[in-house]
Amino acid sequence: MLVPFATVHPDDEAPGEIVRAAFDRGARGLKFHCPVQECRPADPGIAPALEAAVAADLPVTYHGGTAPMFEDSPYVGIEPFEELLASYPDLRVCCAHMGTYDTEAFLALAREHDTVYLDTTFAMSTRATETMGFDPGSIDDATLTELSDSIMYGSDFPNVPYPYRAERAGLLARELPAETVRDLFFRTAREYLDLDLDPAAADPPERPPEE
């Protein structure tokens, strides 16, 4: 039911050894919250960890955008993320929260790089405007369909300040093609995580009732 990820801090001793041990114990990727850990996505302090992820062909998820309170942080935004892609072109990497508030730039990266993914957490919630100051309607259905193999549903559950269903209700209320829904809610995450799962599990979820 759970796919564990690991993390390290740039000040840790032997970060490469730490993550290789975590991978050996079942971790299936790495997660970095750059403004909290005060490191850029390609920080030299975590380079051994990133190199270990590339060697193991395991993904890395970042809080790499500036939302909701990091617009002045030197650790996030499109330029640090572009630095990461230049340094680790083979790294399978996801920027959480649709890269808000640099969403258009992150969508462009997803178009240009097969290894770049985004997740919908918070950004596509029906409460995104009040909790993040971001309008999910600014990402139209055509973009979700075009990039459905690079965008996956995310929730941050249980650490959300609203009912869990708010994360998916807005997406399910859209008139998206069934194939797009299967990608967003199943197949893209399966590819990103490199999971061997039954394709029958990709049947679209039922649309929720109106709030």
111: in domain: yes
207: in domain: no
In CATH, what number is assigned to the domain containing residue 24? 3.20.20.140
**pLDDT at position 126:** 96
3-state secondary structure of 63: strand
The number of beta carbons lying within 10 Å of the beta carbon of residue 39 is 21
Range of the domain at 76: 15-202
210: in domain: no
3-state secondary structure of 6: strand
Q: Is the pLDDT of residue 203 over 80?
A: no
172: in domain: yes
**pLDDT at position 210:** 53
DSSP states along 136-157: GGGS-HHHHHHTTTTEE----T
57: in domain: yes
**Beta partners for residue 152, in sequence order:** 119
Structural tokens at position 126: 């029906």
Q: pTM for the whole thing?
A: 0.91
Number of domain units in the chain: 1
Neighbouring C-alpha atoms within 13 Å toward the C-beta of 17? 3
1: in domain: no
